[in-house]
Amino acid sequence: MITVHPAEPGDGNVLGEIHAVSWGVSHGPFCAPEVAAAGVEERRGKWHGVLAEGGDTILLARLNERAGAFARFGASTSRPGVAEIHTFFAHPDVWGSGVAMVLLTAVLERVRDAGYDEVHLWTLRDSAQARRFYAKNGFVETGRTHDHDFAEGPPLALVELERAVPGR
């Protein structure tokens, strides 16, 4: 059974573990080993502070009560009047289970309920898996790209994807 609920202040370790492991698999291969290791550790410890700040909505998805994926979303940082999925990560143990699709559906429902007609996100240009997932779920590339400096080695190329919010 897959459930989705808002992340709570005590979920920092769970979010950190999902982010660290998933980031290590998805982004780590594009970095030097020491840079990847530092990136994993940084992500493992950052979510207590993010949860304490409040602001964007963070949803946590569970598969049979085990935390498996999370998303952070809110107003776009670059496109007024558009929602943005700022973070979306699933632990590799739940890849292919449907957890990410259920989570994305919940995110889109929340975005719609907040009054948005459109949502966008940025993902690694070289992550074929992420790009396939988003395309399968109605996202299309906008043609916008930029390099993002994760402060952990060379900048990585990102592509922007967008879609209309269902039901609007």
pTM of the complete model beyond 0.75: yes
| Count of structural domains within the chain | 1
Strands annotated E in 91-168: 118-124, 140-148, 156-164
What does the pLDDT read at residue 32?
72
What does the pLDDT read at residue 168?
61
Sheet hosting strand 118-124, strand order edge to edge? 2-6, 57-63, 66-75, 83-90, 118-124, 156-164, 140-148
Q: Which residues constitute the domain of residue 24?
A: 2-164
Q: Are 152 and 31 in contact (CB under 8 A)?
A: yes
Does the pLDDT at position 10 exceed 80?
Answer: yes
pLDDT tens by residue, 45-94: 889 899 998 888 999 999 999 999 999 999 999 999 999 999 999 999 99
User: For residue 44, what is the domain's CATH number?
Assistant: 3.40.630.30
Residue whose entry in the numeric block shows the structure tokens 């993010």: 50
Helix (H) or strand (E) holding 71: strand 66-75
pLDDT tens by residue, 98-153: 999 999 999 999 999 999 999 999 999 999 899 999 999 999 999 999 997 766 56
Confidence of residue 36 (pLDDT cuts 50, 70, 90): confident
C-alpha 145: how far from chain center: 17
